[in-house]
């Protein structure tokens, strides 16, 4: 028998002698070797185990996770880090902020340990009693929470920020309401001096103009508009005077009635008819009453403007 034949016979030995030679008196090793038919099969398996990358088995196709596993030299090291992390979570001792080189897993462990939501909008859930985020504030508050989340801010701090913002917004609204009331009083005092007895009629003119000339959306925008100093346009005497002049040209008859009247032109016609009837009844009294004559001229002028506008 040649040397090669003898070696092949030894490699193909299935008697189990090679297992006893390797395992000795260790029954566990002997049991583990029991699944191999020959020494060659065992050596093939051993070579494969030596050359394998254990990280591939854990991460599969997840390259990002595989990169995180590069921090560990062996599976045992990874297991040890996992156990330590879970122990910190259980004990509440995870208090050190994640550093610049922290992995997503490190950040997740820290946030779980400290009750920090995994997503920024989680700060606005389960708010303390009485604390709410208004619909108009949700967009800006969501952006604010994103910034806090990047810094791993605790929910109690985030809730305090929301509460501060709500109080600040309420104070701002109260301040604006107070400022508007003061400006309205100032504007009214000024316009009453300028318009005298025509104050209410001119205010009605402005109201009729805005009500009739603008759509609902445009009306709301106009009424709520402010100048660069925050003063409402409707509280600026010059603006009100200009609008009254426009309203008089836009609908001359409207100055004789309040906005929303069914037929303001009828009021003008009726008053002219009353003056005409008085003049025919008592011409002497009519020519002595300069105020009535002035009023008749005013009404005739308004009537002419109205007819001119209607014909255009």
Instruction: Give the DSSP per-residue string, 47-102.
Output: HHHHH--HHHHHHTT-HHHHHHHTT-SSHHHHHHHHHHHHHHHHHT---SPP-TT-
> Around 124, how many Cα atoms within 13 Å sit in the side-chain half-sphere?
21
Whole-angstrom distance, CA of residue 247 vs CA of residue 255: 8
Whole-angstrom distance, CA of residue 201 vs CA of residue 168: 40
Ordered per-residue pLDDT tens for the chain, 312 residues: 455 544 444 444 555 787 777 777 888 777 777 777 887 777 766 665 555 666 776 677 777 777 767 777 777 777 777 676 666 656 555 567 787 788 888 888 888 888 889 899 999 988 888 888 988 889 999 999 999 999 999 999 999 999 999 999 899 989 999 999 999 999 999 999 999 888 888 888 888 888 888 888 888 888 899 999 999 999 999 999 999 988 877 776 665 554 444 455 556 778 888 899 998 999 888 888 888 888 888 788 877 776 776 666
Whole-angstrom distance, CA of residue 198 vs CA of residue 186: 17
pTM > 0.85: yes or no: no
Q: Which one, of 279, 297, 300, 301, lies nearest residue 288 by Cα?
A: 279
Helical spans, DSSP H, in the chain: 3-11, 17-23, 27-32, 39-51, 54-59, 63-69, 75-91, 104-113, 138-150, 155-195, 199-213, 216-223, 237-250, 264-281, 283-288, 290-311
Domain boundary assignment for the chain:
3-52, 262-312
């Amino acid at each position: 028998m040649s040397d090669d034949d003898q070696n092949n016979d030894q490699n193909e030995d299935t008697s189990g002698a090679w297992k006893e030679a390797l395992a000795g008196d260790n029954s566990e090793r002997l049991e583990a070797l029991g699944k191999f038919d020959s020494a060659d099969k065992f050596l093939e398996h051993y070579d494969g185990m030596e050359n394998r990358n254990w990280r591939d088995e854990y991460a599969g196709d997840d390259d990002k996770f595989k990169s995180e596993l590069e921090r560990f030299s062996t599976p045992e090291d990874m297991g040890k880090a996992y156990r330590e992390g879970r122990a910190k979570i259980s004990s509440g001792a995870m208090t050190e902020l994640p550093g610049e080189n922290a992995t997503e897993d490190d950040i997740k462990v820290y946030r779980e340990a400290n009750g920090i939501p995994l997503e920024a909008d989680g700060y606005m859930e389960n708010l303390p009693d009485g604390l709410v985020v208004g619909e108009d504030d949700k967009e800006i508050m969501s952006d604010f929470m994103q910034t806090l989340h990047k810094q791993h801010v605790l929910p109690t701090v985030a809730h305090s920020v929301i509460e501060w913002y709500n109080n600040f917004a309420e104070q701002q609204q109260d301040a604006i309401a107070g400022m508007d009331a003061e400006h309205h009083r100032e504007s009214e005092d000024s316009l009453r001096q300028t318009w005298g007895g025509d104050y209410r009629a001119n205010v009605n003119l402005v109201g009729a103009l805005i009500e009739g000339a603008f759509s609902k959306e445009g009306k709301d925008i106009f009424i709520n508009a402010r100048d660069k100093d925050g003063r409402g346009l409707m509280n600026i005497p010059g603006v009100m005077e200009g609008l009254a002049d426009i309203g008089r040209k836009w609908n001359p008859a409207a100055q004789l009635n309040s906005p929303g009247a069914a037929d303001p032109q009828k009021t003008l016609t009726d008053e002219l008819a009353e003056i005409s009837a008085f003049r025919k009844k008592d011409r002497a009294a009519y020519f002595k009453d300069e105020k009535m004559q002035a009023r008749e001229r005013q009404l005739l002028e308004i009537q002419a403007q109205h007819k001119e506008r209607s014909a255009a």
